[in-house]
Amino acid sequence: MLKERHRKLYYITVALFVVYLLFLVWVVLFKLGFSLSEIGTIKAYNFIPFHYEDGHNIGFHISEVRDNILIFIPVGVYLCLLFKEIPFWGKAALIFAVSLALEGSQYVLAVGSFDITDLITNTAGGIIGIGVYLIGRTLFRDKVKAERINAVLINLITVLLVGGTALILSLN
């Protein structure tokens, strides 16, 4: 019975990780939009970390940095839950690769700009997610219980985030 519950939670976690990755693509590439009319209109890049053309509007960029970090935290948690055999640096490299793919796609599809700052902050967010997972694991002596709690919490966060975003957009 217990193993059956673990298996169900595992499959739910895998499914919600896929949903989260699709949500991440939608947020990063399409900026929560539903129209493909923007494709091919923006093609830019920035290779100077934390450099912004409008230097007097720093507050906006601080929130962008915060948002980039926050949106990648679940990626780190999910990687820890689903790919235990991959060491820390392997997970960090995967987070970097996902961010690089998204940033590169923005440039290639001309839906945004490739920004080194986003690459740095996205990767930092994912690494923070790994740390959140590890903290969650160390809070409990029972590692199985810690795994379940981590999985339930990240799954709940995913459902609330994706569902809440969909609800807000449907009401506007």
Grouped pLDDT means (10 residues each) for the chain, 172 residues = 80 97 91 64 77 58 89 97 96 98 90 90 98 92 89 96 90 82
Distance CA 40, CA 28 (A): 15
Whether the Cβ atoms of residue 46 and residue 116 lie closer than 8 Å to each other: yes
DSSP string, 114-171: EEHHHHHHHHHHHHHHHHHHHHHHHT-S-HHHHHHHHHHHHHHHHHHHHHHHHHHHHH
pLDDT at residue 48, rounded to an integer? 80
pLDDT at residue 34, rounded to an integer? 60
pLDDT at residue 8, rounded to an integer? 94
pTM of this structure: 0.88
Give one word for 39, left, alpha or beta, with left for phi > 0 and alpha for psi -120 to 50.
beta
Helix, strand, or coil (residue 113): strand
pLDDT at residue 153, rounded to an integer? 95
Whether the Cβ atoms of residue 105 and residue 37 lie closer than 8 Å to each other: no
pLDDT at residue 60, rounded to an integer? 52
pLDDT at residue 54, rounded to an integer? 61
pLDDT at residue 36, rounded to an integer? 61
Side chain identity, residue 14: V
